[in-house]
């Protein structure tokens, strides 16, 4: 296996892992908000959680495309950075 292909696989899986952690965090917050008796001083609205989940799933798809070799690593990571900034701005806009 070529070095370029190994780097592509590793970076694609890293992107997918980071995205799934992001999705898991938002799903966990949704679960805690609606199905536990915990009280929060601040809660994100559901639409912010769902948008973050969607952004995370889109980011996972981009990571999959990197692993499959259908998307350049640089382009994928630039898009990932843009999606993370967009998600962060969403989170900051409602606080």
Structural domain spans, the chain: 3-93
% of the chain residues with pLDDT over 90: 94
Q: What is the pLDDT of residue 68?
A: 95
Q: What is the pLDDT of residue 1?
A: 75
- Which pTM does this prediction carry? 0.91
SS3 39: coil
d(CA 95, CA 74): 32
pLDDT 10s digits, 43-71 = 999 999 999 999 999 999 999 999 999 99
């Amino acid at each position: 296996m070529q070095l370029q292909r190994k780097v592509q696989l590793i970076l694609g899986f890293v992107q997918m892992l980071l995205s799934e952690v992001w999705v898991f965090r938002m799903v966990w917050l949704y679960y805690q908000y609606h199905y536990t008796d915990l009280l929060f001083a601040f809660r994100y609205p559901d639409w912010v959680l769902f948008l973050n989940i969607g952004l995370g799933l889109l980011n996972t798809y981009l990571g999959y495309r990197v692993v499959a070799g259908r998307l350049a690593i640089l382009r994928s990571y630039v898009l990932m950075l843009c999606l993370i900034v967009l998600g962060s701005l969403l989170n900051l806009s409602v606080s």
